[in-house]
Amino acid sequence: MPKLIPDLQPTEPDSATLERLAHVERALLVAVILLTAANLAGWLFLAAGWSLPDSNALMKAPSVFAALFCALSLQFSASQSSSRIRRLGVLLSLASALISLGVVCEYVCHIWFGIDLPVAASQSLMSMFMDRTSFQTAAGFASLAVTILVIPARRLPAVVAADVLTFFLVLLVLVLVSGHLLAVSHVFAPTSTVATSSWSMIALLLLTVVAFLRKAENGVYSILLGHGIGSNIARGLSPVLLVLPYLRETLRARFIGSRQMPPHYTTAILASLAVMLSFALLLFLAWRINRMELEIHDLSLRDALTDLYNLRGFRLLAEQALRMARRSGLCFSVLFIDLDNLKRTNDTLGHQAGSDFLVETAKILKSSFREADVVGRIGGDEFAVAGQFNQSGISLAAQRIEESVARRNAQNSSGPPLSLSIGCVTSESLRNESLPELLARADHAMYEEKRRKKILVN
């Protein structure tokens, strides 16, 4: 029996999606915790007299503790955590926010809150570890910590505020991380100043991804986790839309910096690429929407249990096939099949056994006809087939069905037998019969066959 899809809202993520995201979130949080532990170990190695190849790139104390507290807060604020653990997560977020905002205030207001220690003249190791982290990194962790505090909100005004804060957090982190990457890769100049630590940017990026995924469980970003048309399109286009602007600006910087091409040609090339890529995205979007509309249309014409056409789908496609047969001057036949004793099977063996009989009948019909033939379940225990057959062709098809039923019963001799009653009619090319008239004639022929079988049994 085919698996039925639960009736979810298009923007509502299913439990399987949320479970996969929970595994991703845990993996990212473990990575951040290991990263902060590695930085702390690096400072301990330096204190022990070991030399590290790039000790200046280690995270400073405010960044290490802000990242660690944010990671633990996100872990403790998971929905399955107890209320006491969630309160601890809130306290850790507050601690991270206070540390980061204190550093920001030191830069902006020139007030020392004791977050860092003054760098001693001797440049001791402790003063280097406790030195002030960069303004960009502090601002990023401050925004992250404040966003984590409001993510669990469930009331509408708070949910909207959390969506807005998440938007600006992602914007800020994209600016910081992409700016850091451009600086360390020296895209604009070989002497670009790198004010932020790579370790801090990695931790900030991973934590922002976790915060965004956590926020996407409710609110406006839940569209990315849904199963509707808009959600599928958003998931497909998001990576492209994230990468293209950075690619374009990097190419622009390379072209302008190399001075190997006149500026007007640089602009013309990049603008033309942007136009064609936008056009390609438009074509993909239209193709995707059209394909999903076809799938929805097909679902509206299909029987969920047997995957055959339902009554509406059968009538629509059989009428079209009948018109084509008339235009081509071909014969057209209709086969009417009834599953015998379905009610008795449901009453004695249960509805699952009756459903299994219906599915088996559908499989036999699918294997007995061509793809061009229209096969449908048009009632509870009634099936119909329509196609361009002459009298001998439809008789052979009915014989194939009976042979398939006989093979099935021989292979399942211990179980209840499958029994079908079949009636078929053919409309010659010169006769102007409608589809309902052909179905009525085939239905009558099927009942004649059913009566004949009862007489033989008695």
Q: pLDDT value at position 431? A: 65
The angle, 0 to 180 degrees and rounded to 10, between the axes of the packed helices 198-215 and 135-150 is 20
pLDDT by residue for the chain (458 residues), tens only, comes to: 333 334 445 556 666 777 888 899 999 999 999 999 999 888 887 777 676 666 567 888 899 999 999 999 999 988 677 888 989 999 999 999 999 999 998 888 877 655 444 443 344 555 666 677 889 999 999 999 999 999 988 888 888 999 999 999 999 999 899 888 878 877 665 555 667 889 999 999 999 999 999 998 888 888 888 776 677 777 777 888 888 887 777 777 776 666 666 766 666 777 777 777 777 777 777 777 777 766 666 667 888 888 899 988 899 889 888 888 888 788 899 999 998 888 888 888 888 888 888 999 999 999 889 888 999 999 888 999 999 888 888 889 899 999 999 998 888 877 788 889 999 999 875 567 889 999 999 999 999 888 888 777 65
Q: CA end-to-end span of the chain, whole Å?
A: 34
Q: pLDDT value at position 117? A: 47
- Chain Cα centroid distance, residue 341: 43
Q: pLDDT value at position 101? A: 92
Q: pLDDT value at position 178? A: 86
> With contact defined as beta carbons under 8 Å apart, do 32 and 64 qualify?
no
Q: What is the architecture of the domain spanning 311-457?
A: 2-Layer Sandwich (3.30)
- Chain Cα centroid distance, residue 455: 57
Q: pLDDT value at position 49? A: 67
Q: pLDDT value at position 118? A: 44
Listed by start position, the domains of the chain span: 15-226, 228-300, 311-457
Q: How many Å apart are CA 32 and CA 199, to the nearest integer? A: 10
Q: How many Å apart are CA 95 and CA 89, to the nearest integer? A: 10
C-alpha distances in angstroms, 445 versus 379, 382, 394, 412? 17, 14, 13, 29
Q: pLDDT value at position 153? A: 83
